[in-house]
């Protein structure tokens, strides 16, 4: 059975207000990045969506180029939405993005209004939707004026093709400017989606402070550091792992002995807390409420259960946080 079956799904999940908006996001969101494209068996995708929804995950995060191949994640999600979840659309937050290479020629990537508006139209067609809940500028364009990129987000919201506008991968200067432009246009920036994990803490250098002061929601992608913050690489690189294959997201040379030592020590701390390493890593990103939601990836339903289990353990003690910082700074 792949369609939703749980009648108490909202009792499993914590929902967090997104910035100063009226929207609440599940603390754990499901990203359909590189395990949901045309190369993924359709039935496995259906099981993952159903399991996530049964656990109270209402937010499904996509982008135009997710697959592989690009566009196929949206197509697969659209088919599953139509066959299994048509009656539940209004219980879901569906987001997509544009900014990376999608088609050939000068209008197939970056941040022009031509590209962003055309890309969203294509995304809606692939998913069979009249609108998405959140549409993001996936990355800042160094050659297109930020006013043009933000005007495109404002336009699609006013046209009813998206309910909210967001940005992703924007550093502090660009984020500050983008937020100000959207406010002037009358379409506030709902949310920023940066990378953030125990092994990637760049957002702590000003970005989280900016977003909090501006009332913009925070949602983190790659909270498990592309799989490093799991038990997969504690002793080496398994033959069936992402790093052992052709993936561009995690390369063997990145998994040094120094990294593995840190991960093993973190795993010991997680075990003492009664958590898996992945659960502790997610709970750490969510600590203190500075991040509203974490976007997880999964290749099978059981991994979603494990990640949602991050919400079941107690808050970190000051001693635990100090011990984690000692490991991370070592």
DSSP bridge partners of 217: 191
- Cα–Cα separations (whole angstroms), residue 151 to 19, 145, 154, 186, 189: 21, 10, 5, 10, 12
Structural domains in the chain, sorted by start? 9-234+277-314 (3.20.20.100)
- pLDDT tens for each residue of 153-210: 999 999 999 999 999 999 999 999 999 999 999 999 999 999 999 999 999 999 999 9
| Residue 236: pLDDT over 60 | no
Neighbour-count burial for 141-180, b at 16+ CB within 10 Å, e otherwise: beebebeebbbbbbbbbeeebbbbbbbbbbebebbbebbe
For 25-52, the pLDDT digits (tens) are 999 999 999 889 887 778 999 999 999 9
Mean of pLDDT values over 148-156: 98
Q: Residue 244: is its pLDDT beyond 50?
A: no
């Amino acid at each position: 059975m792949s369609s939703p079956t749980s009648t108490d799904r909202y009792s499993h999940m914590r929902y967090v207000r997104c910035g100063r908006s009226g929207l609440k996001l599940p603390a754990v969101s499901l990203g359909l990045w590189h395990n949901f494209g045309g190369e993924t068996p359709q039935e496995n995708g259906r099981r993952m969506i159903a399991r996530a929804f049964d656990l109270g995950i209402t937010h499904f995060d996509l982008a135009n180029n997710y697959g592989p191949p690009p566009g196929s994640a949206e197509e697969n999600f659209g088919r599953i939405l139509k066959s299994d979840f048509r009656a539940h659309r209004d219980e879901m937050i569906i987001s997509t993005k544009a900014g990376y290479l999608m088609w050939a020629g000068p209008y197939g990537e970056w941040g022009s209004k031509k590209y962003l508006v055309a890309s969203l139209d294509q995304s809606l067609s692939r998913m069979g939707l009249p609108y998405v809940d959140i549409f993001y500028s996936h990355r800042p364009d160094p050659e297109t004026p930020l006013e043009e990129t933000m005007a495109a987000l404002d336009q699609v919201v006013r046209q009813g093709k998206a309910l909210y506008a967001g940005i992703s991968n924007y550093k502090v200067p660009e984020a500050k400017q983008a937020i100000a432009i959207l406010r002037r246009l009358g379409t506030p920036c709902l949310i920023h989606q940066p990378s953030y994990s125990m092994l990637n803490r760049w957002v702590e250098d000003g970005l989280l402070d900016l977003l909090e002061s501006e009332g913009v929601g925070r949602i983190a992608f790659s909270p498990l550091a592309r799989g490093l913050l799991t038990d997969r690489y504690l002793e080496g690189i398994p033959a069936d792992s992402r790093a052992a294959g052709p993936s561009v997201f995690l390369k063997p040379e990145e998994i040094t002995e120094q990294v593995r030592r840190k991960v093993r020590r973190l795993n010991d701390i997680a075990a003492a807390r009664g958590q898996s390493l992945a659960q502790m890593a997610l709970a750490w990103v969510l600590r203190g409420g500075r991040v509203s939601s974490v976007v997880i990836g999964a290749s099978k339903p059981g991994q979603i259960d494990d990640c949602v289990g991050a919400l079941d353990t107690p808050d970190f003690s000051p001693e635990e946080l100090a011990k984690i910082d000692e490991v991370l700074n070592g």
